[in-house]
């Protein structure tokens, strides 16, 4: 299909960004826990919280850096106890994602946050899996679950977590690496990622969010990841940017997260246009939308509004197409989404 991007008026862009089909590849399910659900589950389970209500919770969402966010995020996740809680959490996300025309989501979860509190891993995986199955049937959203290891814990603990998840191997598409980046380089997890690869799991890792470009190189060389989560600090190494472009390693970028965690001072300074201009397979995602002020379409709309000279219809199409390209599905499925995407852009031409 021939799309003439110059024939898509600027004022049509926000609606197009919201309605175009998209994949979401960097989304922590625990980061979709909205204050109302958090308080409801705390009440249900008699969990005492340091926050009195929705207002106090939202006021706590003023973060200085990644660690100050993680402290609140892990405390919030403490209200998730039963399989039904994980189902409810994920189902609410899928309903919200459907409103943004997310057609495919690859979703992170942090089992160690829950098993450390005595919640068995099967409740976590099965609750999420059942919501994913229903989302496929009722919302036509396909998805995959990515089990993340907490990098502030040891590799032995990561290995034990992988072993504990094996009975539900078929419900997982891959493994990831998240939590506090500085001081916890990818090399710490080389053995557990090798084991995950042997099991046929796709590998991804957060790198180059707060950590240096060298962590991105380690994730590629030592963990052999297929995508880098965040990766925005790659621009500190021109040689690395060239490599990422040459090898077409996707970056799952999260603009609102980067501003809320002070990786960039504001959206106008975000380097996503630079990443695209360098030919990288950059994608737009929401990370922890309940904490960072917006879901995936909000990320697109607010970023494009902040950088109107750099980001227009062509870049919108590129980013959504990159998301499909970077997903862990077969080529025929990707081609189908790509046709839907092209049709949405063709319909917006004037």
For the question of residue 209 being annotated catalytic, the response is yes
Question: Residue 31 binds which entry of Zn ion, ligand HPA, none, with Cβ cut-offs from 5 to 8 Å by kind?
Answer: ligand HPA
CB of 346 to ligand HPA, least distance (A): 35
* DSSP classification of residue 281: -
| From 202, 209, 210, 315, the catalytic residue | 209
34, 83, 100, 178: which one binds ligand HPA (CB under 6 A): 178
CB 27, min distance to Zn ion, A: 8
- Cβ at position 8, least distance to ligand HPA in Å: 32
CB of 80 or CB of 348, closer to ligand HPA: 80
C-alpha distances in angstroms, 114 versus 75, 79, 86, 205?
11, 10, 11, 20
Nearest-angstrom CA–CA distance, 206 and 183: 13
The residue whose Cβ lies closest to Zn ion is 287
Contacts (Cβ under 8 Å, ≥6 apart) of 276? 282, 315, 318, 319
- Judged by beta carbon, residue 31 or residue 255, the one nearer ligand HPA is 31
> Which of the listed partners (ligand HPA, Zn ion, none) does 94 bind, with a CB threshold of 5 to 8 Å by partner kind?
none
Q: Smallest distance, Å, CB 26 to Zn ion? A: 6
If binding is defined by CB under 6 A, does position 206 make contact with ligand HPA? Answer: yes
Binding mask 10-49 for ligand HPA (x = CB under 6 A): ------------------x--x------------------
- Tokens representing 35 are 């204050």
What are the Cα distances from residue 207, in Å, to 154, 170, 193? 17, 26, 15
100-129 residues near ligand HPA, rule: CB under 6 A: none
Residue 287 near ligand HPA by CB under 6 A? yes
Q: What is the DSSP string of 94-123?
A: HHHHHHTTEEEEEEEE-HHHHHTTT--HHH
Binder among 287, 294, 321, 341 for Zn ion (CB under 5 A): 287
Closest CA to 55 of 74, 78, 75, 38: 38
**Which of Zn ion, ligand HPA, none sits in contact with 232, Cβ below 5 to 8 A by type?**
none
The H-or-E segment that residue 53 falls in is none
Rounded Cα–Cα distance for residues 84 and 86 (Å): 5
Q: How many residues bind Zn ion (CB under 5 A)?
A: 1
Q: Which of 312, 336, 350, 325 is nearest to 17 (CA)?
A: 312
β partners of residue 105: 24, 143
* Active-site residue list: 209
What residues make contact with ligand HPA under the rule CB under 6 A? 28, 31, 66, 73, 178-179, 206, 209, 257, 287-288
What residues make contact with Zn ion under the rule CB under 5 A? 287
């Amino acid at each position: 299909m021939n799309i003439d991007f110059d024939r898509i008026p600027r004022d049509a862009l926000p609606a197009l960004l919201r309605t175009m089909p998209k994949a979401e590849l960097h989304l922590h399910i625990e980061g979709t826990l909205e204050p109302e659900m958090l308080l409801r589950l705390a009440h249900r389970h008699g969990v005492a919280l340091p926050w009195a209500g929705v207002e106090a919770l939202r006021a706590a969402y003023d973060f200085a850096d990644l660690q100050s966010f993680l402290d609140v995020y892990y405390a919030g996740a403490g209200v998730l106890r039963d399989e039904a809680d994980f189902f409810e959490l994920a189902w609410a996300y899928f309903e919200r994602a459907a409103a943004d025309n997310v057609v495919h989501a690859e979703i992170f979860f942090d089992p160690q946050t829950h098993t450390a509190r005595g919640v068995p891993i099967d409740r976590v995986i099965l609750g999420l899996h059942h919501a994913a199955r229903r989302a496929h049937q009722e919302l036509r959203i396909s998805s995959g679950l990515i089990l993340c290891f907490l990098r502030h814990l040891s590799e032995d603990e990561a290995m034990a977590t992988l072993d504990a998840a094996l009975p539900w191997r078929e419900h997982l598409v891959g493994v990831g690496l998240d939590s506090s980046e500085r001081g916890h380089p990818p090399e710490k997890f080389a053995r557990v990622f090798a084991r995950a690869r042997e099991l046929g799991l796709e590998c991804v890792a957060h790198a180059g969010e707060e950590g240096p470009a060298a962590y991105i190189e380690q994730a590629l060389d030592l963990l052999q990841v297929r995508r880098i989560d965040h990766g925005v600090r790659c621009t500190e190494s021109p040689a690395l940017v060239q490599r990422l472009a040459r090898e077409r390693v996707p970056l799952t970028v999260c603009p609102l997260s980067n501003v809320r965690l002070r990786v960039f001072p504001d959206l106008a300074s975000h380097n996503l246009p630079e990443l695209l201009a360098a030919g990288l397979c950059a994608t737009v995602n929401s990370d922890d939308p309940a904490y960072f002020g917006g879901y995936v379409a909000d990320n697109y709309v607010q970023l494009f509004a902040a950088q109107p000279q750099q980001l227009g219809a062509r870049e919108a199409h590129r980013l959504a197409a990159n998301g499909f390209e970077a997903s862990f599905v077969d080529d025929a499925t990707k081609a189908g989404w790509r046709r839907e995407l092209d049709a949405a852009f063709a319909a917006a031409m004037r």
